[in-house]
Homo-oligomer: A and B are copies of this chain.
Amino acid sequence: MGCGVINAGKSQHNEDQACCEVVFVERRPSPRGRLMSREGCGELDGGRKGFYFHYWALFDGHAGSGAAVMASEKLHVHICEQLRDLVDILQDPSPPPICLPHGPGDPTRVSVAEDDGEVPNDAVPRFHLEKAVSHESLVIGAIENAFKHMDDQIERERGAQHLAGGCCALAAIYLMGKFYVANAGDSRAIIIRNGEIIPMSREFTPETERQRLQFLALLRPELLGKEFTHLEFPRRIQPKELGKKMLYRDQNMNGWAYKKIEEDDLKFPLIYGEGKKARMMATIGVTRGLGDHDLKVFSSNIHIKPFLSCFPEVRVYDLTQYEHCPDDVLVLGTDGLWDVTNDKEVAGVVMEVLTSYEPNDPCRYTMVAQELVVRSRGVLKERGWRLANDKLGSGDDISVFVIPLGGPGNYT
């Protein structure tokens, strides 16, 4: 595995944070009544019962590094906590139970669920309609809820710990033969397999999440504080344009249409700008992530957080479905990387660097990551950081993980 991180000057300190861990998920001790009978089993089993997961994550902080630092220290702990209740279920090849006789790891309930003479859950005749739920979707649910718990922890502890700002979070979890890539923000993950590019995330920005944000603003107009309109316009409207017709789109539209400009349309649009300059409420350029609980619109009392989501989109890649060679990798990068390069160029660098090292050289993935960040920062010239094509570098922090998918001895 290779990692590269660079601060390219936009902020004084690097607001990107990274974390890479192997985490043991130990089955939660059963409630008191069950604990006694199981402890013996534990010893017969030869010790702790559980499994490992591999974990890599990038946190791109904004308005301070506090949230990013805490998330880098704790997100994997929350994922582990969520998975602890699932240790037995994930290791059992039969479909997960829809209903558990009593809460796993719930210390308020002892093992009396079957005491009233009910037949155990799995002997009950199947319900007429019952949705099948896969093991995979339990892991996805665990990761989703771990992000929520992480965000809650930042909210609780931000006062005492001076946790400023917020962060985008991109995490890759390798568990039981599958990669789970969870993204909340504008970082990006791709798999490069035999030269082919497989996107493993999408970006969450005011532009990509426009309809969700407009829908919320329409249903909860008080969140806009009389300063904003939920409609989008291609540019600011001037008061003297009242009564003219201007292009707009609302929460239902992907296309544009003309509407007659009314008084309310003179408010600032909820979503405004394009590409890297797109902002929600003229304040923030990403719409998912952790933290930002105190973020407000400049010189106002309007909170941003209700519009942000801390939930990631989780994509799954099954490593067992394909035979991977040592040149197949998963690349995670913060937006500092993707602002100045694209999937294809990254794949080119990956292949160029990997082929210049021996396949069993342990340094080759690190060299790829280093090369990616160095090329994306560029070279400091009189006119600022310049890329190879003399374009201006992004100036943003750049963090990259390069994770091999194949080769000898991986994840076993």
Number of interface residues of A (CB under 8 A): 64
For A247, what are the chain B residues with a Cβ–Cβ distance below 8 Å? 96, 98-99, 133
Contact between B127 and A256 (Cβ–Cβ < 8 Å)?
no
Cα(A141)–Cα(B237), bound, Å? 20
Contact between A235 and B131 (Cβ–Cβ < 8 Å)?
yes
Contact between B255 and A143 (Cβ–Cβ < 8 Å)?
yes
Contact between B131 and A274 (Cβ–Cβ < 8 Å)?
yes
Q: Is A145 part of the contact surface with B, judged by Cβ < 8 Å? A: yes
Q: Is A137 part of the contact surface with B, judged by Cβ < 8 Å? A: yes
Contact between B100 and A245 (Cβ–Cβ < 8 Å)?
yes
Contact between A314 and B254 (Cβ–Cβ < 8 Å)?
yes
Contact between B145 and A257 (Cβ–Cβ < 8 Å)?
yes
Cα(A314)–Cα(B257), bound, Å? 14
For A139, what are the chain B residues with a Cβ–Cβ distance below 8 Å? 255
Cα(A225)–Cα(B301), bound, Å? 34
Cα(A118)–Cα(B237), bound, Å? 16
Q: Is A10 part of the contact surface with B, judged by Cβ < 8 Å? A: no
Q: Is A326 part of the contact surface with B, judged by Cβ < 8 Å? A: no
Q: Mark A226-261, 1 if CB is under 8 A from B, else 0.
A: 000000001111001101111101001111111010
Contact between A255 and B100 (Cβ–Cβ < 8 Å)?
no
Q: A133-B247, A144-B252, A255-B137 are in contact. Are A127 and B96 (CB under 8 A)?
A: no
Q: A140-B255, A254-B314, A257-B145 are in contact. Are A129 and B235 (CB under 8 A)?
A: yes
Contact between A109 and B273 (Cβ–Cβ < 8 Å)?
no
Q: A137-B255, A144-B255, A314-B255 are in contact. Are A245 and B103 (CB under 8 A)?
A: yes
Cα(A234)–Cα(B95), bound, Å? 13
Most buried by B among A85, A140, A257: A257
For A212, what are the chain B residues with a Cβ–Cβ distance below 8 Å? 215
Q: Which residue of B lies closest to A278 (CB)?
A: B131
Cα(A96)–Cα(B255), bound, Å? 13
A274 CB to closest chain B CB (Å) equals: 5
For A246, what are the chain B residues with a Cβ–Cβ distance below 8 Å? 98-100
Q: A235-B129, A236-B127, A309-B252 are in contact. Are A99 and B257 (CB under 8 A)?
A: no
For A137, what are the chain B residues with a Cβ–Cβ distance below 8 Å? 254-256
Given pairs A101-B244, A129-B236, A141-B255, 20 additional interface contacts (CB within 8 A) = A96-B247, A98-B247, A99-B241, A99-B244, A99-B247, A100-B245, A103-B245, A103-B258, A104-B258, A127-B235, A129-B235, A131-B235, A133-B256, A141-B253, A142-B257, A144-B254, A145-B257, A215-B215, A219-B220, A252-B309
Question: Which residues in A have some Cβ–Cβ distance to B below 8 Å?
Answer: 82, 85, 96, 98-104, 106, 109, 113, 118, 127, 129-133, 136-145, 148, 212, 215-216, 219-220, 234-237, 240-241, 243-247, 249, 252-258, 260, 272-274, 277, 309, 311, 313-314
